[in-house]
Amino acid sequence: MPMKKDSFDISNPYVRRARFQPAMLIALPLALATLALSPNGIAGWGAAWSAFVFCGGTALMAQLARDKGKNKESWLYERWGGKPTTRLLRHCDAPNKILLARRHKKLQAIVPDIHIPTEAEEQANPRGADEVYDACTAYLLERTRKKEAFPLVFEENCNYGFRRNLWGMKFFGIASSSIGSGAVISAILLEYRTGILPSPTVIVCGVINLALLFVWAFWLTPSWVRIPAEAFAERLLSSCESL
């Protein structure tokens, strides 16, 4: 459902928000653990990060995040009963019949060579009707690519892409947060045994890592991803009014 992006350039707002940032959240617990265990060693990260970027590391991270989310997208659609845009265009699923009729009328006028199914036609051939709705969605995606002209569509697309990709990497997020939390807790226990009180930096890093572990384990769910998915679908279909 997200609008197609051909570039993995980190300067691209969509790539940065929907692909790169989720990948960076995977690395955050390990970075916090490094800061807690070796505060002085963090200074050398600048050169390492520059080399990582120069060698294409950011592009790789963006692609990994995108692939993990995209590979699980079909499972989400099946769980939700179809793509959010498709569901909003179905006669059987649309929550507002008056709005549905208006959208069908608009789409019939702006999408060339496509017949929007009637309710009877949809009931007789649900799969064929969904193919028509998917074609309409693809047409709208192509017509709303310019974020300057359709800022709300772009915003919700970024929100959905971010949550989908973040959820897609849930296993890695839990693993990273678990390792980071374990490392910081071990450092705190070791300092207690030697009679040294943990520094505020160590405590803060531990709290953040535990909070991230909780978020990865319990907050990131298909229902959490569905909220922006449906908001994006609404915004995309609303673009019919200005096309």
The pLDDT of residue 37 is 80
Q: Give, for 166, the enclosing helix (H) or strand (E).
A: helix 151-168
Please name the residues in contact with 107: beta carbons below 8 A apart, sequence gap of 6 or more: 89, 114, 116, 136, 240
Cα–Cα distances in angstroms (integers) from residue 203 to residues 25, 33, 39, in the given order: 19, 11, 13
d(CA 141, CA 135): 10
DSSP 111: S
The pLDDT of residue 12 is 84
d(CA 148, CA 125): 38
Question: Is the pTM for the entire model greater than 0.85?
Answer: yes
Mean pLDDT by 10 residues, the chain (243 residues): 53 87 89 79 58 65 86 95 96 92 94 91 96 95 93 96 94 94 88 79 91 96 97 96 87
Domain boundaries, the chain: 13-242
